[in-house]
Amino acid sequence: MSAAATRRTLLGALFLIALGGFLLHYRVHPFLVPDPARPGSLLLRGQVLPASLLPLLDLLLVTALFARRSTAPLGHLLNGVIAIYGAVLMGHFSIETLAPRALAPADWLLRSTLPDIAIAAGDFLVGSALYGSWMREA
């Protein structure tokens, strides 16, 4: 496989992982919900909008930055920042919601945000491989 084909594959994987992360966040924290007072219209829930902002930036901006060699370093930096912030915020959310209860270790693995943090780490690693592919071309 050529370097360009590898980059296209990695860019597609990065996009799909980011899309999955955004959709998972939106399912857990929907910021647009039906307005019970006005059927057929949507209500913006601003308090949960920030929870979907980072995955949306990852989906749109990071993917676009990784598409070109000249902007790949910025994409790599932003991808890393989003992955770190996401891991910290999701870990904090799990500790706040699960720590008050005595849970079995399996519950900590399956009912926490650890699977979501693993997706964020995988997203970062795919982006890192894509960045490395761009930098080897120099």
Q: How confident is the model at residue 135 (pLDDT cuts 50, 70, 90)?
A: very high
Higher local confidence (pLDDT), 46 or 80: 80
Percent share of the chain, pLDDT over 90: 66
For residue 138, what pLDDT band results from cuts at 50, 70 and 90? low
Angle at 127 between CA 122 and CA 132, to 5 degrees: 125
Q: Which residues contact 128 (CB under 8 A, 6 or more apart)?
A: 76, 79
Q: Where are the domains of the chain?
A: 3-136
Q: Which residues of 57-66 are buried (b: 16+ CB within 10 A; e: fewer)?
A: bbbebbbebb
Confidence of residue 20 (pLDDT cuts 50, 70, 90): very high
Q: Give pLDDT, residue 41.
A: 92
Measure Cα distances from 116 to 22, 83, 85, 129 in Å.
11, 11, 13, 20
pLDDT at 42: 92
pLDDT band of residue 124 (cuts 50, 70, 90) is: very high
What is the arithmetic mean of pLDDT over 39-51? 88
Q: Give CA–CA dist 127/121, Å, rounded.
A: 10
